[in-house]
Amino acid sequence: MQAAEGTAVRNAPDTRGLALRLRSHVVRMTHKGGSSHVGSALSMADMIAVLYGRTLRVDPKDPKWPLRDRFILSKGHAGACIYAALAERGFFPVEQLDQHYQNGSIFSGHVSHKGVPGVEFSTGSLGHGLGVGAGMAMQLRRQGHGQRVFVVLSDGECDEGSNWEAILFAGHHKLDNLVALIDYNKIQSLASVAETLALEPFADKWRAFGWAVRQIDGHDHDLLSTTLDAVPLEAGKPTVIICDTIKGKGVSFMEHAVLWHYRSPQGEEFDRAQAELAKAGEDLVTKGLGDA
C-alpha cells in the first residue's frame, strides 16, 4: 500500500484522556436523550479514541479532504461515541452533542452523515458497513493516493451474512487498504454471543477468508496504537483487529451486563457513572498518562 500523499493531520496522542471524555459524553448523551446502547458505545471508546486521536488522517477544517482516511461505524447504534469523537476532534462544537436524540435533531440514535461534518457514511441496520468499506477501498486503491478505510463492527453484527460476503470479497481482492476492527465485547442484544450464535473460532474464520488477523486487548491504548500503526499487517491482505473488550467498560455497574445494551442511565445511576469517570480522569493525571 502506498503512503498517503499530503500532510497527515493528527492530534497529540493523548488517547487515554480522550477515551474518558468520550465515555463521559456518551453517558451524558444517553442520559439526556433517554437512549439505548450506552454499553455498546463504552466498549469501543478506547478503540475510537486511538483511531480519532492518533490513527486516522482526517482534517476537521476540511472534512471532505480527498486524501483523508475513511471511517465507517458499521455498528451504527453506538453512534453517540462517534459524534462525541468528532466533536472532540474539532469537527463541530462539543455543545452540539446535547442535541443527540432530541426532537428535530440531526444527531440520530444511529449514526447519520446528513448535516454532520466528519461522518462518512450512515448506518443503523447491521451488516452494511464492511461491504461499503470494501467498495471504498477498491475505488481508492484504483485512484492510488494511499487512503485507508477503517470499519468498526460489533461482534453480534457478525451474525449478518452480508458481512461474510464482504469478508470473502475483500480477501479475494486483496484489499490491504481495508481495516476492520471488531468490538468483541461478547454480549449482544439479548444474551451473550456464545449463547446466541457462537463466533469462535473467530480469528480462524477471518484467516480462512484471507485476512491478516490480530487479536488484542481493545482497552490497551499502547497495543491499539502499535497495532494500528502497523496496518496493513500483511501486504496484499485486508486487516482485521479483533478487539477483546468489555461491554459498558469504564462504568463499574455497566460492565459485562446485557442490561446496558438498552437501559439509559438515569438519576443516581447517571451521577455514579459520571463520578466514576471523573475519578478515572484524576487518576490518569496523577499517573501522568493524560490530561482528562
Partner 1 sequence: MRDAFIATLTDLAKEDPRIVLITGDLGFGVLTSFAANHADQFINAGVAEQNMTALAAGMALEGARAYTYSIANFTTLRCLEQIRNDVCYHDADVTVVSVGGGFSYGQLGMSHFATEDLAILRALPNMTVVAPSDPWQAQELARQLHARGGPVYLRLDKDKAGLPAAPEDVVLGQVREVRQGSDLVILATGAILGEALAAAETLSGEGLEARVIDVHTLKPLDAEGIVAAVTACGVVVTVEEHNILGGLGGAVAEVCMEHGARVDAFRRVGLDDCYPSIVGDQKYLRRAYGMDAEAIAGKCRDAVAQGRKRK
Cα-flanking dihedrals φ and ψ of residue 72, to 5°? -125, 125
**Which residues inside 131-190 make contact with partner 1, applying CB under 8 A?**
131-140, 142-143, 161-162, 165-166, 168-169
Instruction: Determine if 128 is a binding residue for partner 1 (CB under 8 A).
Output: yes
CB of 221 to partner 1, least distance (A): 30
Stretch that binds partner 1, among 3-11, 45-53, 123-131, 185-193 (CB under 8 A): 123-131
Query: Within 10 Å of residue 64's Cβ, how many Cβ atoms?
Result: 9
Specify the residue, 112 or 245, whose C-beta has the smaller distance to partner 1: 112
Instruction: Determine if 24 is a binding residue for partner 1 (CB under 8 A).
Output: no
With CB under 8 A as the contact rule, the residue among 10, 32, 113, 214 that binds partner 1 is 113
Specify the residue, 72 or 86, whose C-beta has the smaller distance to partner 1: 72
Lookup: cell for 215:
487479536
Report the distance separating Cα 264 and Cα 35, nearest Å. 5
Closest CA to 291 of 6, 99, 12: 12
Specify the residue, 166 or 180, whose C-beta has the smaller distance to partner 1: 166
Specify the residue, 143 or 286, whose C-beta has the smaller distance to partner 1: 143
Specify the residue, 66 or 201, whose C-beta has the smaller distance to partner 1: 66
CB of 206 to partner 1, least distance (A): 16
Cα-flanking dihedrals φ and ψ of residue 154, to 5°? -90, 170
CB of 76 to partner 1, least distance (A): 10
3-state helix, strand and coil shares in percent for the chain, rounded to the nearest 5: 45, 10, 45
CB of 56 to partner 1, least distance (A): 16
Report the distance separating Cα 141 and Cα 115, nearest Å. 27
Distance (Å) of CA 71 to CA 120, 207, 218, 262: 6, 23, 18, 25
**Total of residues contacting partner 1 (CB under 8 A):** 27
Nearest-Å Rg of the Cα atoms of the chain is: 18
CB of 210 to partner 1, least distance (A): 14
Residues 6+ apart with CB under 8 A from 162: 127, 128, 130, 131
CB of 169 to partner 1, least distance (A): 5
**Residues making contact with partner 1 (CB under 8 A):** 113, 121-125, 127-128, 130-140, 142-143, 161-162, 165-166, 168-169
